[in-house]
Structure 1
Amino acid sequence: MINKILIANRGEIALRVIKTCKKLGIKTVSIYAADDAHLPHASAADECISLGSGALSETYLNQDKIISICKKLNVDAIHPGYGFLSENTKFCKKGEDNQITFIGPHPEAIELMGDKITSKIKMEKLGIPLIPGYHGDNQDEKHLEAEAVKIGFPVLIKATAGGGGKGMRIVHEEKEFRDALGGAKREALNAFGNGDVLIEKYINQPRHIEVQLVSDGVGNHFHFFERECSIQRRYQKVVEESPAPNMSPETKKKICQTAVKIAQGINYIGAGTIEFIMGADESFYFLEMNTRLQVEHPVTEMTTGYDLVELQIKAANGEKFDFSQEDIKQTGHAVECRIYAEDPDQDFLPTNGNIQKIESFPKVDYRLDCGYRDGNAISTNYDPMLAKLITWGEDREECLEKMDLALGDVLFGGVKTNRDYLRRILIHPSFVAGNVHTHFIAEQSEKLRPKALLDMDYAFSIASYLVFKSKLTQNVWDKNFQKMTKKFIINEEEQEVIIYNYSREKVELEINGEKYLFRTLVWSPQSIILEHAGIQFEANRFLISPNETYQIFVSHLEVEIREIKKAMGSTLTSHLTEGSLQSPMPGKIFKILCKIGDQVEKGDPVMIVEAMKMEHTIKAPKEGSIAEIFFNEGDQVQGGVLLCEIE
């Protein structure tokens, strides 16, 4: 019987497991690295143990240290969450060797399904449909290239171990193959300690459909229906939903039954997910199995009513579930949006900063699975996902309407996130119609760019800025007040405004000949409510830069704004030359691809910066010669620093 569980993870998933354990009366132990000591999970369990500082191998991936903690605290079971050690057979076996239950499948199932080659061999034996490809042991570059030619381009290179988009490349032509292969192998080796890859035929406009499974402790296997996970960037999911839109009942039944057949064929236990690639004709092929709880499990919980973590624990206890497949029903519709610390309009580059405020006053019901609290700093040592926002509705239309409102409530003020980008996805006509595929974001990139601000948007933003900056009313409203002209930089666009009067109580201004009057109804240093033309709106502001740049959320808008002081003399954010190559994010110089004196064309790769466990290629902004390189491979760099000069 499981009475105490150690959660071998961090952030929101650690909190998620603790929540269910408290409901079941099970004691919990959380672990945390030194740089996570300020996060909620570091103090949320019954016992909280520091792993010390150092690399991941010394903290969350330090198997011996975690097992030692379990033995010292008389822990009965380990819940691995997702990522980290959740699909590590050695860790699973170490737990078993020390009479500690691993809340997950047996190590044999993890090993079989965790390798994309052995899993596909097994699927072939079970009669599961597979994508044409090469899954062999020969990893010689020439051999892999020959196999790719045999399959026919485009092909997908994919790491055999792990997931999350790491070690994955699409190759459209033979001449691109070797560079792509090298990048995929390096990334896979760095992320999983295994550089082996497989090659598959790449299916155009595929849908990513997955089926949630849970098998109990006595050999019964259940599906909890499907999820649509096609909205992705860099092979990582951004928006997930259940049920999958625009899928026939016949296909839904068939794909769920196929998933159960796989669970039966490998004698599975616990929670797992079968991922499929589906073509436009609803033909589907086995992609991989995740032998753990998925990030997106909340949408299944919201539509079926089952606590999947509770079922994991019961299965690990050897219990038989007290329900049948027919008892599991889908009700309504659920959508999950992943909130990342990244800038989608700058090629999804990771961002960092201090979270000053996560939520404003909620205007709609939603579920927020979050591993941070107000005041926490974001580390570049971990995945950039900050939270998962989930809404439920009677149907998809209602659910999406709630999500749009919920994204207005969840701010993560002080940090640049993908929040506004998510709203653009939700209102895109193709997404609204349910016509999605895994290339949706790439193909719709132009339509998903931010729209130009209107004069009214500038007026709302500037009025909010002025009210926040103003002092209590003194003499500004007397007859001697003189109108003034000010200039602002708003989202890197310069805007001039004529101000007739402003105080903490009201603002009167003019933009492009149109006058606007705003009155303050509620004021606080961080949040205000203004009224314009009979309409009230809330504004929140956060200082995000020493040069007095503020992030302001105004109703549906999110802007960065700063006032141009007369003494500044320039509206430019930088005086760098056209050939100045900056680091777009904090990270490590992984590889320098050029040397001083080399000639480069615009767009040529110059360096690879590693940040948040992903490689980011830094390209030449213009044609020229490499004049200076200011760092070496392995150096840590801050965002915005000058990496090299091109003349």
Structure 2
Amino acid sequence: MPAFSKILIANRGEIACRIQRTAQALGYRTVAVFSDADADALHVQMADEAVRIGPAAVQQSYLAIPAILNAARRTGADALHPGYGFLSENAEFARACEAAGITFIGPGAEAIELMGSKRLSKLAMLAAGVPCIAGYQGAEQDDATLQREAERIGYPLMIKASAGGGGRGMRLVQRAEELLAQLRTARSEALHAFGSDELILEQALLAPRHVEIQVFGDRHGQLIYLGERDCSIQRRHQKVVEEAPCPVLTAELRQAMGEAALKACRAVDYVGAGTVEFLLDARGQFYFLEMNTRLQVEHPVTELITGLDLVALQLHVAAGQPLPLRQEQVQLQGHAIEVRLYAEDPAQGFLPQTGRVQRWEPALGAGVRIDHGLLEGQDISAFYDPMLGKLIAHGATREEARRKLLRAVEDSVLTGVASNQALLANLLRHPGFIDGDFSTAFISEHFADDSSLRPQPPSVSELALAAALFYQHAAQAHGTALAGWRNQANVPLSYRLGSAEAAWTLEVSQQDAGTLQIRHADACFEVRLLSADGRWACAIVDGIRRRYAYTLEAGHLWFFTRPGNLHLQDLTHALAASQASTHDGTLRAPMDGAIVDVLVSEGATVSKGQLLLVLEAMKMEHPLKAGIDGVIKRLQVDLGDQVKNRQVLLEVE
């Protein structure tokens, strides 16, 4: 009898879609689970069967073990793939699957439990002889003990959630006087994210490389490593760019790190896919960071340089089969680079973004792979991680892979939701990245003043094309083609276009058939619309012909600006906006989310910069501070409230 035939994927988004593609290609039936927020999601549509498991909140859906196991029972699923995140590194979940007679596609519960604790795993690695960073990983967690140990380790140091990952519950502390406040924040974030506020302390390596080794083990005692990935380019300890192989690793260092990773695996009898993460300093010394007992987000770069399907290997091993290759058969070919596409606005301090996806057309090409779970028209909610997908490119050389990936980032059309595309493009074209000269401090050192981190007004040429599209839409509404549309007495038509708080006035005049002259201030452009079908416009703007992706509905234009997302509204006939500005003391929610801490009450005196509330959104905590000195006049939220973007939370007078 086969080991299993139907696989439930206990996840959502791009990773659920990616697992299904391999599972279905290998002949397995698949079952998707979904929350109310994901009822029409792509991973649901792809599956053979799908089961609702609860409301949008993760605690009531994707973290609800009884609901997921009940979905497996109802559909007859005899195997379960956890993906990454959610319950993928939850030992209790692995045990519950085993008790229900369901094959858990991952390592044993004991390995998950041990490696899921940064404190216990570090103790185990020290015992196994794996190089580790100096720090404190004891069971005593009171403030006095942690203060004493911090003095012993020395500053700067890192606070890390023992059960954590993805940068949550992690804080860099530069000075002793910062420690207590950072301990409080790290504990709170860790408790909300992982259900445990246990912490460890480590000496901070300020500019290392983050290099990880992909490992695989089977149930027959065979362990191999599949090369390394460099994941050094990070923001707030979350990876942004990953590549394989590492640009600076020698064959000797690769072997040393690989053997250290296998030593870590042997210490816990590891089975399945895993990743052993190291920090690599400028002297070539490396130190154990953590082990992830699951498939990694960045696994595609390893697949592209090895030619292996890691999900297929996971299914192979979970079915009890031996690994189909030995260590000496592992060959690395070419170079692969991956970037993570996030629904966040770097120009607003990387605030996670919610909203409706108006357009999504990934730019596929030779050597380009795009893993995503997006559909046009879907809503991006505040309940889940803001990562939308991954863009990956493979080339014979690192430079070829970089060029291909840059083009894919610039040409993948995403409108309706702000994203980090412009930042990704700027990272890929930065001289330091091109040279392979970077560390985990790369973004903080080189991108503090990057253009993608500041609001960028639309260019005059973009405004001119937008005015032309609104003009053409009006012409079609009058039942005539652009060439036949004329302003009365050939008087220029005035357009007022707005975006966020800004607005621009343009004058549009028809020239010869199909050509418009558009003026804004002292600038003048000629625009000739060759075609515009509601999705793509082909236009000659100032003598240059290009194709542009756009959506125009009810006076709103979503316009892709390579790479970027411009939303303009036709305000030409709108009533004049009120001149009254929002009072500086009004605190509004910067995004959808939940209030997880209320630190003030009505009548309290506060000072500018004082922490008032803490908002949790997309698995991160966001401190909300006073903009002025004053007194809390009105407090309109309580602990646990769900709030919407721009909702008034409190007022300071």
Determine whether 1:159 maps to 2:168.
no
Segment of structure 1 superposing worse, 94-103 or 591-600: 591-600
Shift of 1:210: 0.8
Q: TM-score, normalised by structure 2?
A: 0.93
The CA distance in 2 between the partners of 1:500 and 1:631, in whole Å, is 51
Determine whether 1:579 maps to 2:579.
no
The CA distance in 2 between the partners of 1:463 and 1:202, in whole Å, is 50
Structure 1 residues 145 and 252, CA gap change in structure 2 (3 angstroms): same
Aligned partner of residue 242 in structure 2, secondary structure: strand
Q: How does 1:555-634 map to 2 (within 5 A)?
A: 555-556=562-563, 558-565=565-572, 568-570=575-577, 575-634=581-640
Aligned to 2:478: none
Aligned partner of residue 83 in structure 1, secondary structure: coil
Determine whether 1:508 maps to 2:517.
yes
Quick check: 1:467–1:505 contact (8 Å CA) kept in 2? no
Q: How does 1:187-336 map to 2 (within 5 A)?
A: 187-336=189-338
The CA distance in 1 between the partners of 2:26 and 2:51, in whole Å, is 22
Shift of 1:414: 1.1
Structure 1 residues 456 and 449, CA gap change in structure 2 (3 angstroms): closer
Segment of structure 1 superposing worse, 631-640 or 53-62: 53-62
The CA distance in 2 between the partners of 1:266 and 1:222, in whole Å, is 15
The CA distance in 2 between the partners of 1:289 and 1:478, in whole Å, is 68
Deviation track 1:535-570 (CA, whole Å, cap 9, x = no partner) reads: 3212223469x8x55331134554333345376445
Quick check: 2:36–2:54 contact (8 Å CA) kept in 1? yes
Aligned to 1:641: 647
Aligned to 2:428: 426
Deviation track 1:77-123 (CA, whole Å, cap 9, x = no partner) reads: 11111111111111111222232211111111111111111111111
Structure 1 residues 161 and 476, CA gap change in structure 2 (3 angstroms): same
Q: How does 1:466-485 map to 2 (within 5 A)?
A: 466-470=468-472, 471=475, 472-473=481-482, 476-477=485-486, 480-484=489-493
Shift of 1:182: 1.1
RMSD between aligned residues = 2.6
Shift of 1:644: 2.1
The CA distance in 1 between the partners of 2:493 and 2:626, in whole Å, is 43
The CA distance in 2 between the partners of 1:372 and 1:349, in whole Å, is 20
Shift of 1:261: 2.0
Quick check: 2:153–2:203 contact (8 Å CA) kept in 1? yes
Q: Which 5+ residue runs of structure 2 have no aligned equivalent?
A: 476-480
Residue 531 of structure 2, aligned match among 508, 516, 522 = 522
Q: Which amino acid aligns with 1:515?
A: C
Determine whether 1:553 maps to 2:560.
yes
Structure 1 residues 316 and 502, CA gap change in structure 2 (3 angstroms): farther
The CA distance in 2 between the partners of 1:626 and 1:479, in whole Å, is 56
Quick check: 1:240–1:296 contact (8 Å CA) kept in 2? yes
The CA distance in 2 between the partners of 1:634 and 1:8, in whole Å, is 26
Q: TM-score, normalised by structure 1?
A: 0.93
Shift of 1:514: 4.1
Quick check: 2:468–2:527 contact (8 Å CA) kept in 1? no
Q: Which amino acid aligns with 2:509?
A: Y
Q: How does 1:311-460 map to 2 (within 5 A)?
A: 311-359=313-361, 362=364, 365-450=367-452, 457-460=459-462
Deviation track 1:188-230 (CA, whole Å, cap 9, x = no partner) reads: 1111111111111111112211111111231111111111112
Shift of 1:595: 3.0
Q: Which amino acid aligns with 1:30?
A: A
Shift of 1:444: 2.9
The CA distance in 1 between the partners of 2:454 and 2:170, in whole Å, is 34
Aligned partner of residue 451 in structure 2, secondary structure: coil
Structure 1 residues 212 and 452, CA gap change in structure 2 (3 angstroms): closer
Segment of structure 1 superposing worse, 597-606 or 105-114: 597-606
Structure 1 residues 453 and 231, CA gap change in structure 2 (3 angstroms): closer
Aligned partner of residue 312 in structure 1, secondary structure: helix
Aligned partner of residue 480 in structure 1, secondary structure: helix
Q: Which amino acid aligns with 1:559?
A: L
Determine whether 1:84 maps to 2:91.
no
Deviation track 1:581-621 (CA, whole Å, cap 9, x = no partner) reads: 22110111211223334444433222111111211011222
- Number of aligned positions between the proteins: 644
Shift of 1:146: 1.4
Structure 1 residues 564 and 443, CA gap change in structure 2 (3 angstroms): farther
The CA distance in 1 between the partners of 2:155 and 2:260, in whole Å, is 29
Segment of structure 1 superposing worse, 245-254 or 493-502: 493-502
The CA distance in 2 between the partners of 1:502 and 1:637, in whole Å, is 50
Quick check: 2:301–2:392 contact (8 Å CA) kept in 1? yes
Aligned partner of residue 490 in structure 2, secondary structure: coil
Aligned to 1:138: 140
Aligned to 2:122: 120
Structure 1 residues 203 and 8, CA gap change in structure 2 (3 angstroms): same
Shift of 1:147: 1.0
The CA distance in 1 between the partners of 2:452 and 2:327, in whole Å, is 45
Q: Which amino acid aligns with 1:633?
A: L
Structure 1 residues 73 and 476, CA gap change in structure 2 (3 angstroms): closer
Q: Which amino acid aligns with 2:206?
A: N
Deviation track 1:315-344 (CA, whole Å, cap 9, x = no partner) reads: 112211232212211111111111111111
Quick check: 2:223–2:262 contact (8 Å CA) kept in 1? yes
Q: Which 5+ residue runs of structure 1 have no aligned equivalent?
A: none
Structure 1 residues 493 and 436, CA gap change in structure 2 (3 angstroms): farther
Aligned partner of residue 318 in structure 1, secondary structure: coil
Structure 1 residues 53 and 485, CA gap change in structure 2 (3 angstroms): closer
Shift of 1:138: 0.5
Aligned partner of residue 373 in structure 1, secondary structure: coil
Segment of structure 1 superposing worse, 575-584 or 549-558: 549-558
The CA distance in 1 between the partners of 2:227 and 2:483, in whole Å, is 64
The CA distance in 2 between the partners of 1:621 and 1:81, in whole Å, is 42
The CA distance in 2 between the partners of 1:113 and 1:212, in whole Å, is 15
Q: Which amino acid aligns with 1:525?
A: G
Deviation track 1:428-449 (CA, whole Å, cap 9, x = no partner) reads: 2222222222232233343323
Segment of structure 1 superposing worse, 420-429 or 556-565: 556-565
Segment of structure 1 superposing worse, 319-328 or 120-129: 319-328
Shift of 1:259: 1.1
Aligned to 1:535: 544
Structure 1 residues 176 and 555, CA gap change in structure 2 (3 angstroms): closer
Shift of 1:462: 2.6
Shift of 1:15: 1.3
Report percent identity of matched pairs.
38
The CA distance in 2 between the partners of 1:444 and 1:400, in whole Å, is 19
The CA distance in 1 between the partners of 2:202 and 2:512, in whole Å, is 64
The CA distance in 2 between the partners of 1:55 and 1:355, in whole Å, is 21
The CA distance in 2 between the partners of 1:423 and 1:206, in whole Å, is 23
Shift of 1:485: 5.0
Quick check: 1:217–1:317 contact (8 Å CA) kept in 2? no
